Amino acid sequence: MEQTERESMAVQLTDAAVHRVRSLITERDLEAHALRIFVTGGGCSGLQYGMTLERDVRDSDVRFNFDGIEVLIDPNSMLYLNGATVDYVDDIMGGGFHIDNPNAVASCGCGNSFRTKDSRTTAASEHDCVSA
């Protein structure tokens, strides 16, 4: 992916998501880590979201910064996440990250698995998920 393509792509984090990621980084003493958001093949709809706190930045990563929280997305995952908004919701049923993805045409009930119009089942490699 060329630099001009990367610059035109965007993902957003809400203030609640930024606050929760900052809390996780502090709680786990991972000050030098960034939030990696990725897409892998799997789940009941064909693709699934993943998040992890990670120190390693790859040259090919698309990078965003939200109030000091660095977000990393590999180029393959960015194809599926462009335009998405990551939120953190904490309600009576519990807390968790929610991704509002305009590219998803279908998703499972839990919201972790989705399908796009042009879904391919090959995406980023597997990672450990961040639990809230």
Give residue-wise pLDDT tens across range 38-53: 988 866 557 888 999 9
Inter-residue contact 74 to 16 (CB < 8 Å): no
What is the C-alpha to C-alpha distance for residues 8 and 16, in angstroms, rounded to an integer? 24
CATH number assigned to the domain with residue range 3-116, chosen from the 4 options 3.40.50.300, 2.60.300.12, 3.40.50.10480, 3.20.19.10? 2.60.300.12
Q: How many CA atoms lie within 13 A of 93 on its CB side?
A: 5
Coil/strand/helix, residue 24: helix
Q: pTM of the full predicted structure?
A: 0.74
> Over the stretch 43-98, which tens digit does the pLDDT of each residue have?
655 788 899 999 999 999 999 999 999 999 999 999 889 999 999 998 887 788 98
| Distances in whole angstroms, Cα of residue 91 to Cα of each of 50, 95, 97, 107 | 21, 6, 12, 21
User: What are the structure tokens assigned to 97, written together?
Assistant: 């990250």
> Over the stretch 103-119, which tens digit does the pLDDT of each residue have?
776 455 544 554 456 65
